[in-house]
Amino acid sequence: MCCVRVLFAALLAAAASFCLCDRNARADVYRRYDDTYLIFSGTDLWRHGSFSYGGLLWSPGLLDREGFTFKTMIGSGTYRYRSGGLGNIDVIGSQAVGFAMPGWRFMRDKTVVSVFAGLDAQYHYLLPYDPGNKLAGTHVGIRGAIEFWYEPTVHTMWTADASVSSVGPTYSARIAYGWRLFDAFYAGPEVAGFSDDNYRQFRAGLHITGLKFHFLEWSAGLGWATDSDDRNGLYGRIGFFARR
């Protein structure tokens, strides 16, 4: 299943490459200032789960300017947890999620804050069925999110994001610090967490952010995860985005 997730992300990257390559592309593909679309995709892997996603960010007033922005995403994955209500046995969950959130981007010097709110749809199939898990089945709710980027110096950065959904409810957050290395990418520590009524996970590791390859910009993370089921293990994630 993990290989399927990686293949899914690779196919999305290939699709983006096909869509974004054209004869009129400018030479400075690493940084364009008239773009209004940002296509993103990625895969997150852990010992007891995997998730792949793809989405689109649209800013009619340009990506590098303050103003209205719209974010949408779809994704799917699998996960495993222990159910206390079923005698502490393993439950395998499959999920499909999607959201559409209008928002606003605020910019001050080297600080960018984006705030979103909109509809969140999720489907969770559990095997065996766990009546104590509120996520089982199809749900539509409200999701809110905030994203933060700050460059205190020309060689350092902070980034953070947080999201909450009324489905579950579920919560997630991440914060990372990075140093500019080789004038090619940022690298540094990151911490992240996820929580709902039945499960909690905490992560700590290292990240690479902003590694440019042609018109794609890549990010990755690797570290250690621990959860409320007392199951520890490595996690890894990889993602990309492309501007248009």
Three-state DSSP class for 181? strand
Task: Answer for the pair 138, 95: CB distance below 8 angstroms, yes or no.
Answer: no
What's domain 2-243's superfamily in CATH? monomeric porin ompg (2.40.160.40)
* Inter-CA distances, 42 with 23, 73, 175, 242, Å: 27, 11, 18, 12
Confidence band for 15, pLDDT divided at 50, 70 and 90: very low
Among 124, 52, 140, smallest CA distance to 91 is for: 124
User: What is the Cα–Cα distance from 68 to 52, expressed in whole angstroms?
Assistant: 27
Question: Domain limits of the chain?
Answer: 2-243
- pTM of this prediction? 0.84
Prior bond to 189 cis, omega within 30?
A: no
Q: What is the pLDDT of residues 138-157, one digit of tens each?
A: 999 999 999 999 999 999 99
- In whole angstroms, give the CA distance from residue 56 to residue 72: 5
**Beta carbons of 18 and 25 less than 8 angstroms apart:** no
What is the Cα–Cα distance from 89 to 83, expressed in whole angstroms?
6
Structure tokens at 132: 């104590």
d(CA 151, CA 186): 11
Residue 1: pLDDT band with limits 50, 70, 90: very low
Which residues is 153 bridged to in the sheet?
A: 156
pLDDT tens digit sequence for 181-226: 999 999 999 999 999 887 899 999 999 999 998 889 999 999 999 9
Give residue 198's pLDDT.
79
